[in-house]
Amino acid sequence: MKSQNNKINLVKVGGSLLRREGLAAKLGNYLDNLNSPLTILICGGGSQVERLRQQQLQFNLSANECHTNSILVMDRNTRHVCDQLQATVLNDWNALRQNVTDSSTQEQTNTVIGFEVSNFMTLHEPQLPPPLLPSSWETTSDSIAARIASVLDADLHLLKSATPPVQQHKILARRGYVDGQFPATAANISSVRLVDLFH
């Protein structure tokens, strides 16, 4: 029998994984092995966000507009993956925080909640202590996940489609494995795991 880890986990599913065959089963096994009272799940934008990058150049869109649209894509992907996992999805930051509080006082194991980040990013993140997330391509789903994990004192798991070449966040940012904002945003997280999910 696995011992329960009482730490809250935040798992971000990289957008490059969303088209992989067998993702639901692989992800479900990973989440089950965490064996913690609560895991929060969010998804990256994937190929749809890459198209937004191209459209910004083609149509001269603002960085803020593309950033906002990218977050909506993240939310849509989170709903889709959580539907496959039969997991509840929340879009309200205060409701999520209440679930985190409840998980520390109630007997529960392996509860997975998807979180749509647009409400948090628009209404709450700008009111939090720095470092604030810029509305630019320097902030991708990696840094958004790190920001939420930092505020909630959660362990962070970034599920990727490639093995990290190194563990130092600044080097990973320079190599494009994580975004440029990630090293600063993740600096105070006690545990960051970079996982090649299919290997």
According to the model, what pLDDT value does residue 1 have?
38
Assign 167 a pLDDT band (cuts: 50, 70, 90): very high
Average pLDDT over residues 139-155: 96
Residues 99-138: pLDDT tens digits?
999 988 777 678 999 999 999 999 999 999 998 999 888 8
Note whether residue 3 is domain-resident.
Answer: no
Could you tell me if residue 190 is inside a domain? yes
CB atoms within 10 A of CB 81: 21
Cα separations (Å) of 52 from 18, 44, 73, 163, 178?
17, 13, 10, 26, 18
What is the phi/psi pair of residue 193, to 5°? -110, 130
178, part of any domain: yes
Q: Could you give the angle at the alpha carbon of 89 between the alpha carbons of 83 and 92, nearest 5°?
A: 160
**Total of domains in the chain:** 1
Query: How many alpha carbons lie under 13 Å from residue 55 in its C-beta half-sphere?
Result: 13
| Cα(120)–Cα(118) distance, integer angstroms | 5
150 in any annotated domain: yes
User: The domain spanning residue 120 has which CATH number?
Assistant: 3.40.1160.10
CA distance 34 to 3: 10
Q: Domain range for residue 63?
A: 9-196
Residue 2 lies in a domain: no
1 falls within a domain: no
% of the chain with per-residue pLDDT over 70:
95
